[in-house]
Amino acid sequence: MKYFYIILVAAIPLFSGGLQASDKIKVVTTLPDLRTIVEQIGGDKVTAHAIARGYQDPHFVDAKPSFVLKLKQAELFAQIGLDLEIGWVPPLLETARNKKIYFGGSGYVDASKGIELLEIPTTDAAQLRSEGDIHIYGNPHYWLDPRNGKIIAKNMYEALSAAKPEFEALFRRNLEAFNARIDSAYTVWTQTIAPFKGSKIIAYHNSWPYFEKAFGIEIVDFIEPKPGIPPTPSHLISIIKRMKQENIKAIIISPYYDGKPARSVAKRSNAVVVEFAPSVGAFAEINTYFDLFNYNIKALTRALNK
Ligand SMILES: [Zn+2]
């Protein structure tokens, strides 16, 4: 009896006080952008990990085996969806064998729910895939419009509230604070970019239609002739011609693309190459969703000012 009492007393501290690490909602996301948003909404009630690094091409991620263990233990799994991660997420989820977070499971979050998609193809998806295209359900780079961040945040709020209903009010307050922050930052960003509205730009990959829509710039051509297809010399020559004709001053590239074709096109058309951050963590100073837009807006205005 005495022993029992001692054990009981000793056990009490485990169940009182703050939330234990094991009580936190374990979240795994594909991209760091989703990780930072779920952390904003979940606060100290979540522990979140992103599989991809911000400087990796989100279409082609070589996921470390250590993530299978994290997926096995995860309560929520969030991905961008469409076909962005189609090459690497299904095998990971199959290996993890965690029914809860598998496609359609209670802990599976498709962050694209409610997003107004751009560039939905009219051609049959199977045919596009056979041609090597990797945007067969519409453009999946929607997190690059900060207003879509609010929709992603709402999806996270719903998933977190379903996982831990007792904290719903807290998650709602965090969502409202996040939305307000986006609204005020968006006003500043659009004001900063306003003098360059309508500027024509070239990009390496078609990652930016949502960014264009959000900020009023026009990306008129790509170094890649099709998403996922490497550039050919004749395609590059046609771009150089167009840049000269239309006085296009900037080419956007991302850290994971071969910079050589873009630099050679820029040199021959008297333009500049701008390194854009496609995700949180693309460069060391980009730690949050807000840093991502601060960085890109600054890089673009600097380039167009030249
Ligand atoms: Zn893409």
H or E element, residue 78: strand 76-79
pLDDT bucket at 6, cuts 50 / 70 / 90: very low
d(CA 113, ligand 1 centre) in Å: 18
In terms of pLDDT, which residue wins out, 65 or 107? 107
Q: What string of DSSP letters covers 49-69?
A: EESS-TTS-TTS----THHHH
Kindly tell me if the per-residue pLDDT of 106 is higher than 60: yes
Cβ contacts of 124 within 8 Å, gap of 6 or more:
none
d(CA 226, ligand 1 centre) in Å: 10
Q: What string of DSSP letters covers 149-211?
A: HHHHHHHHHHHHHHH-GGGHHHHHHHHHHHHHHHHHHHHHHHHHHGGGTT-EEEESSS--HHH
d(CA 221, ligand 1 centre) in Å: 14
36-76, pLDDT tens digit by residue? 999 999 999 999 999 999 999 999 999 888 899 999 999 99
122-168, pLDDT tens digit by residue? 888 778 777 777 788 999 999 999 999 999 999 999 999 999 999 99
d(CA 77, ligand 1 centre) in Å: 21
d(CA 243, ligand 1 centre) in Å: 23
Residue 21 confidence (pLDDT): 60
Kindly tell me if the per-residue pLDDT of 15 is higher than 50: no
Residue 128 confidence (pLDDT): 78
d(CA 228, ligand 1 centre) in Å: 7
Residue 3 confidence (pLDDT): 52
Residue 18 confidence (pLDDT): 52
d(CA 176, ligand 1 centre) in Å: 30
157-197, pLDDT tens digit by residue? 999 999 999 999 999 999 999 999 999 999 999 999 999 99
d(CA 141, ligand 1 centre) in Å: 6
d(CA 217, ligand 1 centre) in Å: 19
CATH superfamily entry for domain 22-186: Nitrogenase molybdenum iron protein domain (3.40.50.1980)
| Distances in whole angstroms, Cα of residue 288 to Cα of each of 32, 38, 40, 193 | 9, 11, 9, 20
Residue 126 confidence (pLDDT): 79
Domain with CATH 3.40.50.1980 in the chain: 22-186, 191-305
Residue 290 confidence (pLDDT): 98
d(CA 60, ligand 1 centre) in Å: 10
d(CA 138, ligand 1 centre) in Å: 10
- What CATH number is given for 191-305 in this structure? 3.40.50.1980
